[in-house]
A and B are shown apart, each in its own frame.
Chain A
């Protein structure tokens, strides 16, 4: 659909809405997440305003993905930021809310300026003209354009340095809104980046480096956190870092789309799982939880599926997307970047294990946890659906490839070859998801059967204090939930210690302090007196008159 605003008296403004495969893909993610999240919402008593705002937010997201020009895109972006602000205001502290709105407005403003710079070259907002407009820009203007555009996008994605708002917002937002934030809103940043990369310009190596630095730092930051939702927030940043990295290399689009899909599914699963646990226990820190495995076994298994996917382990869907990412990095010879990505993804095991240990394993940290009941079905059903999604994507990794190929041909990129639904092929290697999945289960079941038939009994110890404990007998007061603080040792390691001790907070505090000083100076001149205001008004009027008279 093309809207020419010339009829309304606005010349040179053409707006366009169009259904493309790329837009459909992201719209599908939005719809899916919306349905999943609303399913669990009925457990909470939310005000009508919350629902209304959520619907407004979702519709603005559809506007973003279906817009084919930067003006409608910007309108969608702005509505998204504002409605998110009001949704967050239900539960956020004042400080976190201020952080969010400052960053969101910074993002919107810089996006707007970038769009105007692009418009100034060719008088067109349309994506199809964007490349031409960009080439007409002067060198300086194009650098400013790219910088502003990336600034706007990176704030939404939460790239390291711009993640200051994100972690607080994720932690304090309503438990059932956080999955939506992580699964969908952060994807809008990815969508904007895909549009920039494929329609305007690809700041290739810059993206790859920024992405990989983001994922490494965010991974180590995640290890150090005690709050579950903060760990997941950092994990979200790190995962999006991989997507940013892979968008910066040739033929990386397939991996980026695949990882977006997997990340949406897995973050919905993990955040809903955590929401369920917080709902039944009222605790949200690792140091206050523990030992829930036999109280909430279904949640445990679902979180296990989630973390296996998050870690990118075979045989679940996470490996498929990681494999695509690694292959495209290997194929484009970004070897050191690939090493760094693999490093970050191996470091992630630490916080991933902490996630499951801190909540479900070890010992309960207080007595009340021992009477915990399994979370209700409205939390479990969405998780089961998501678990099935990642299991199916793990067995048939190439299932989604035909659709990706449509997107890729639409963007004039190289197609991903595939043999059958189960086999992913890349220039370097192929792997068959069905065989991996089948082999694992076959081996597991054979060993289980043989092992359980062996003629010796396994005696279940009912008393949880009945453990090998240096010949002593632990009791209620012994601190046994060791390990929720795992990774603390890393502070003593050179560069990791530097990452963990420093925070971008200091930088922003510095900025805030300088701004306050500056505003004090301004306040001295502009004291707010009525006489001063009157004088300024007079001077302004004179200038205006002079202008008119000329």
Chain B
């Protein structure tokens, strides 16, 4: 039963992940006054990459890296419940908690970092360095907001946090939401915090050495991971969802907001983004935390 549940979660995340990715390409295209590719284009691309005849590898660690990254994404997905009630699409969430999910979010990228290092491409290592340098600053406001949310809900269990909201946390504690949203934009790889992948510079970023089926796996990974992160955010701040329609609407609204934001702003350099994230969003989150938990102490 649980295996079927997990399989369905995987299928849903895979489908919606690629759908959202296709929509992302369309919507950003419209922002730049052009028409993007068809919605299914990314999916087709990934299948095509899977079927490429040869792909380059640099030894076993390099080979395992995309697999670790995919495992990290799938693990994250399985420990986040889709709905705030009922027994379906709960995955393994009752065995884990929010702290675990926070660590699982970085498990995949770190596994990939090992592969990139083993590949020996200095541009890949450059992307990893940028990513890790940005990581802690990016996590800071997110962590602060989540700590406040955990204390306010009296639990670190994601389903409990989702179902315990009478008004959405996003509206009850707007400062916490705004602080976390900055981090979330970074976690989704959107401007102004997208220096890691740096989409327009060809030879940079962690993926530079991966080709063929490795790249296809990375694309699938990114689709699943995107959906998992959206569901997590919806659970924490938007009261979770009680059915598929609600889940899709809420995740899509959040997604739309994030990519619109990303299309409008330029990119920070690494030290700039660390500096900014440690100043503005962190301050917002700290103020939010103090205001929200003042009455408790």
**For this complex, into which size category does the number of interface residues on chain A fall?**
35 or more
Contacts A467-B121, A483-B122 given; does A330 touch B150 at CB 8 Å: yes
**For this complex, into which size category does the number of interface residues on chain B fall?**
35 or more
CA distance A335 to B149 in the complex (A): 11
When the two chains form their complex, are residues B156 and A467 in contact, meaning their CB atoms are under 8 A apart? no
Contacts A458-B212, A468-B208 given; does A431 touch B96 at CB 8 Å: yes
CA distance A361 to B59 in the complex (A): 11
A545: CB under 8 A from chain B? no
B219: CB under 8 A from chain A? no
Per the 8 Å Cβ criterion, residues 437-475 of A in contact with B are 439-440, 443-444, 447-448, 451, 454-461, 464, 466-470
When the two chains form their complex, are residues B61 and A428 in contact, meaning their CB atoms are under 8 A apart? no
A-B pair number, CB within 8 angstroms: 231
Would you give the shortest CB distance from B209 to chain A, in whole angstroms? 6
Q: Which of A431, A436, A451 contacts B217, CB < 8 Å? A: A451
What residues of chain B lie closer than 8 Å to A444, measured between beta carbons? 67-68, 71
Per the 8 Å Cβ criterion, residues 292-307 of A in contact with B are 293-294, 300, 304
When the two chains form their complex, are residues B98 and A429 in contact, meaning their CB atoms are under 8 A apart? yes
What residues of chain B lie closer than 8 Å to A349, measured between beta carbons? 106, 110, 132, 135-136
* Nearest A residue to B126, CB-CB: A482
CA distance A493 to B110 in the complex (A): 23
Binary contact track A471-506/B, C-beta < 8 Å → 1, others 0: 000000000111100110110111110000000000
State the majority secondary structure of interface residues on B.
helix
A342: CB under 8 A from chain B? yes
CA distance A304 to B59 in the complex (A): 16
Q: Which of A357, A458, A489 contacts B56, CB < 8 Å? A: A458
The interface stretch among A63-71, A165-173, A312-320 is A312-320
CA distance A490 to B217 in the complex (A): 32
When the two chains form their complex, are residues B129 and A468 in contact, meaning their CB atoms are under 8 A apart? no
CA distance A448 to B213 in the complex (A): 12
The interface stretch among B140-148, B184-192, B252-260 is B140-148
When the two chains form their complex, are residues B67 and A447 in contact, meaning their CB atoms are under 8 A apart? yes
When the two chains form their complex, are residues B52 and A456 in contact, meaning their CB atoms are under 8 A apart? yes
B128: CB under 8 A from chain A? yes
When the two chains form their complex, are residues A330 and B132 in contact, meaning their CB atoms are under 8 A apart? no
B194: CB under 8 A from chain A? no
Binary contact track B239-275/A, C-beta < 8 Å → 1, others 0: 0000000000000000000000000000000110011
A347: CB under 8 A from chain B? yes
Binary contact track B118-158/A, C-beta < 8 Å → 1, others 0: 11111101101100110110011001100110110011110
What residues of chain A lie closer than 8 Å to B119, measured between beta carbons? 467
What residues of chain B lie closer than 8 Å to A483, measured between beta carbons? 117, 122, 125-126, 128-129
Q: Which 3 residue pairs of A and B lie closest in terms of their CB atoms, listed nearest first?
A: A361-B117, A429-B97, A429-B156
Apart from A436-B95, A444-B68, A468-B123: 15 A-B pairs, beta carbons within 8 A: A319-B103, A335-B147, A336-B286, A339-B147, A339-B289, A346-B106, A349-B135, A428-B155, A429-B155, A447-B71, A448-B64, A451-B213, A456-B54, A458-B54, A494-B279
Show 24 A/B contacts (Cβ-Cβ < 8 Å), sorted by A. A293-B59, A314-B107, A319-B100, A327-B99, A336-B289, A343-B140, A346-B136, A347-B136, A353-B110, A353-B128, A356-B114, A361-B61, A361-B114, A428-B155, A428-B156, A435-B95, A443-B78, A459-B54, A468-B203, A469-B122, A470-B123, A487-B129, A490-B271, A495-B278
Using a CB–CB distance below 8 Å, which chain A residues touch chain B? 291, 293-294, 300, 304, 311-314, 319, 322-323, 326-327, 330, 333, 335-336, 338-339, 342-343, 346-347, 349-350, 353, 356-357, 360-363, 428-432, 435-436, 439-440, 443-444, 447-448, 451, 454-461, 464, 466-470, 480-483, 486-487, 489-490, 492-496
